[in-house]
Amino acid sequence: MQEMDVSVWRGDANGGGLEHFKVPARDSQTILDVVAWIQQHADPTLSYRYACRVGMCGSCAMMVNGVPRWTCRTHVKTVLKDNAITIAPLRNLPVIKDLAADMDPFFDKWVAAGGVHHPTRTRDEPIEILDPKTPERVETDTGIECINCSVCYAACDTVSNNVDFLGPAALQRAWTLYLDPKDADPNAILDAVSGKGGCHNCHSQGSCTLHCPNGLNPMKAIAGLKRATVSSFFKGGR
Amino acid sequence: MLGLKLYMAQRLSAMVMIPLTLGHIAVMIYAIQGGLSAAEILGRTKGSVLWFLYYGLFVLSVSLHASIGLRVIVHETLGLKGRALEIFMWLSGLLLLAMGLRALVAVTL
């Protein structure tokens, strides 16, 4: 049976390095299959995170040959180079152990970006009916399929160089909430994305959009937030 | 690191600089067509309120725009932050302003 050379980053918050494994090649093999094989057959102490295995939960993102990817939906044959693969924990996040990155900073920034819904009604009132054809709703639809995998956050050079930057996913969430007629406080969202780590720090390099496994466009969402804050600036809002 | 106010200051100063830069280049090309010397050009700019306002606005915009741009570059590439970053931005802006005003005074007063 043919074997691949797989280099896996091992270590923790204090540092680490690559360990090498020989993994049997199989048909329709994903990167997550490779990691699981190593943990089940070569080294049971290997730590990594996954849940659904079908590209829905956003748990299994890792750096594959230096590129952030959802490993459960990444076929080995699309990334194998000279019969070798390098797998590492997500960039721009602290490491817990081996391939498991600490997602806390990523989710903390979702909240910091105003990503908490501000309701217009209580649970006792009927649900507000929305027209799916309004321009706001059509725009919102392009941003709500985020699975929180942090691939965009790992891809973003602005996050690397500016620790306060809220990042593409959190800002995209803020943009969809800002457009939502069921959100009672759009100005709170504009305030949240106008601070020192806000949308204005984005350089529009577009790595988020390039690498998003769901084909979303956080760069466009951030541009929308920039427009909305600029327009509120001219109206004397902030 | 870059809030809405600094972002707006940088964008608005850029919008001011675009026509001023084009005007500056256009006048330069036009002025030297007939072989004007530096002394002849200075003869026209000295004492001119119009050129004083034109290049005065230019100098102000450049100082504002460049110091905010340098702030971003220095923060992202060298990691300068907090009070040190504020001081760097203000000092670079004031330095550009002082140098620009010195040239402005020499050419138009």
Query: How confident is chain A (238 residues) per 10-residue block, as mean pLDDT?
Result: 95 96 96 98 97 96 98 97 97 98 97 91 92 94 95 98 96 96 93 95 97 97 97 83
Q: Residue B80: which pLDDT band, with cuts at 50, 70 and 90?
A: very high
Q: Please tell me what DSSP assigns to residue A97.
A: E
Cβ contact, residue pair B1, A196, below 8 Å: yes
Please enumerate residues of A whose Cβ is less than 8 A from a Cβ of B.
Answer: 158, 161-162, 164-165, 194-198, 200-201, 226, 229-230, 233, 238
pLDDT score recorded for residue B31:
82
pLDDT score recorded for residue A1:
74
List CB contacts (< 8 A) between B15 and chain A: none
Q: Does the CB of B1 have a partner CB in chain A at under 8 Å?
A: yes
Cβ contact, residue pair B75, A162, below 8 Å: yes
pLDDT score recorded for residue A237:
63
**Residue of chain B whose Cα is closest to the Cα of A161:** B76
List CB contacts (< 8 A) between A200 and chain B: 2-4, 6-7
Cβ contact, residue pair B2, A195, below 8 Å: no
User: What is the rounded distance in angstroms from the CA atom of residue B109 to the CA atom of residue B107?
Assistant: 6
Tokens of A200: 């204005």
Cβ-contact A25, A2 below 8 angstroms? yes
Residue with tokens 């830069």: B21
User: What is the rounded distance in angstroms from the CA atom of residue B45 to the CA atom of residue B35?
Assistant: 16
Cβ-contact A32, A58 below 8 angstroms? no
List CB contacts (< 8 A) between A158 and chain B: 76
| 3-state DSSP assignment of residue A182 | coil
The domain locations on chain A are 3-101, 104-234
pLDDT of B75 above 80: yes
| CA angle in degrees (0–180, nearest 5) for A145-A230-A218 | 20
State the sign of the Cα–Cα–Cα–Cα dihedral A35, A37, A40, A45: negative
**Residue of chain A whose Cα is closest to the Cα of B81:** A162
Cβ contact, residue pair A233, B8, below 8 Å: yes
CATH 3.10.20.30, applies to A3-101: yes
Would you give the distance in Å from CA A129 to the centre of its chain? 30
Cβ contact, residue pair B2, A200, below 8 Å: yes
Residue with tokens 């600094």: B6
Supply the mean pLDDT for chain B. 94
Cβ-contact A90, A63 below 8 angstroms? yes
Q: What is the ipTM of this complex?
A: 0.87
In sequence order, the β-bridge partners of residue A91 are: none
Q: Which of B43-47, B53-57, B98-102 has the lowest mean pLDDT?
A: B43-47
Nearest CB to B76; choose among A161, A194, A233: A161
pLDDT score recorded for residue A238:
61
Nearest CB to A238; choose among B4, B6, B76: B4
User: What is the rounded distance in angstroms from the CA atom of residue A160 to the CA atom of residue A106?
Assistant: 13
CATH of B4-108, one of 1.10.150, 1.20.1300, 1.10.3110, 1.10.760: 1.20.1300
Mutate to test the interface with B, among A162, A194, A226 (most CBs of B within 10 A): A162
Superfamily the domain A104-234 falls into: Alpha-helical ferredoxin (1.10.1060.10)
**Residue of chain B whose Cα is closest to the Cα of A160:** B76
User: What is the rounded distance in angstroms from the CA atom of residue A153 to the CA atom of residue B4?
Assistant: 22
